[in-house]
Structure 1
């Protein structure tokens, strides 16, 4: 019987303190991700190798057989207690039994389409696990925190799911909708606090080793909820001396962590730090993981462009980022018209990805390159403002006047894109040495 075998193997992994094996037995990643694909109206971008597909299907088949037994079992609690033989004290055994039963009920609820119930059962399983969490079971912590996040995603995506709570009030009670991501974030914070409560002096043997995996799940939720302030609180904590050095965590977690911290830096206007962190994530990301490579590039490209590092068009096409083609061409040539048209036609896409304002700021570089062309054609360090007005009317807007042109030039001078000053009698008076400095160095 599959459920008997599963419980025996799970108990064995606990008795042997084999965290990775225990995590594999407890994983619900397969059933949750597959259900999300079925519930979502957006085509899946997941691709699996033949070997991964076989393992995936085997796990799904096992879970389905286990679910058939679960539904026929009258007293699941007693069944688990009788089948899981743990060489532990009574209280610890009780917590592991609670965790196992709640997790099995979550499996059954997912197959029945009761996703809100599944979310609750999985939350109960994690709560029970926190009572027995040890350093050796760190992989289990990572797996469960990942599962609760994608379970929240499933509850949120399924139109048939509704998460409500009853609120007492005058004249009766009312129901209010609960955001599963907010609920998951509260539970994940408890997990983070549990890992941080370890007072072991040797950080290599501390439960704090689990911190980055939990933080990465919280990052994904906080970005989803647009609560970036809480992300900064997490980075401040995990980067303190009380936690292991960042480069000592598993490389996959470092890639994810630096990706989100890089995005945070971009939103704060620290493009240099953002580029450094995002470039690390892109270079370290496995070459066969094209989905994540593309996601990193989506935020790395604007950082590269801010330093006048232009990606090849072939790279953009390879990763399906054609939205940037006109942006790159416009910046390189100073073609403000092409830049504006590309920005306008892809406005909704850039807004959806949260990079519209960042790309809009790149317009200053386009102006710089356009005005440098005018300077080279003029052949003189003194360029009449009328030349710029003519170029801007052709490239951007027929209504551009002298005042607007001077405003743009003043902004470029202030931000270090141009060295010079404006004389209302002469025009733009450029520095005799390096009037258009390489500001990105």
Structure 2
């Protein structure tokens, strides 16, 4: 707790000690002066000209080097590369969250640094890999994209984002309060609401940073409770449409909630009869939205396990395929990750979360979209590392949630959920022979 408090106070003291720059204020930056010199037509070509950039927290580690790229108006452009290669950084620079160290970003041969920040951002729609929702209604969350949007515009944006149908099935429909950070919605539902928010403003430029990382190939379904019994030492996968109850199973296993009916047993004992502290100490969890604290990388990996040696931390990081990346940082394992891991990419944060789970040597390993933020290369390596770690402990039960079906074909048991019910289970080969729900998911996934 003391380390958490220190980590939380760091940005506060930094802000207090910071000297005021009298020549530049946020109000002046965002002020819409209406001057023609500050306006910009974002429908023209976008150029990155020899852009170099490093984050202020790690000035010696260049994220972009001599990036030169032209994006023509009307084109759909994809940025691909390994986790941490600078893809999301390009979006941050376009939005002027940061400025390049050298080089220039221009629209129609005009540097965006000469343009009004407020006007620039009003013309851009963004959907990030970690959607941000506010503790208000779905309607208001979508309306944040356009303050004067009509009800018809909001519903049309929701339809375009394939969110309207699941919203209309909720008791309060568009008036449903999503909770803090959208906690009342599944990962896929949150992502669709965020996409609707971006679409309602009809942006001239739409930036999608892993915007479909939490989505399936099928429609959203109503969240209902789902339970399944896993055998010790097995690798069991839960698959199904986003919102069908996969993550709910994990939340029930960890006793974040209790079932309305029925029981969950661990080694023949009802988990409601077990100490919650003991139960959770035997579980290692990696969720689709990794939680990191404003501490060092080593402290984040060791979090929750006291008196851990640096050798054990390095071993867990190596298994999670993050050790080499950490060694390349100027401060290595002593590098602070920032609030919620803001200084790391999505894939890097996920691998640190995996290392933290593996360090615990859990009896039950829960992987809720554990490789969702990774590129194909790192996903394969981490998947192999996870399988190796699981086989090294023959008594460890792994419960894996995935919509990327290629990651679960080798599981001992695959359970298919639909509308909160278990509709199929078996091995990959068995389910393919049945040509049922799982077979259709595989075919749909292959076509897409």
What is the TM-score with the length of structure 2 in the denominator?
A: 0.24
Higher relative helix content: 1
Q: Which has the larger radius of gyration?
A: 1
What is the TM-score with the length of structure 1 in the denominator?
A: 0.25
Higher relative strand content: 2
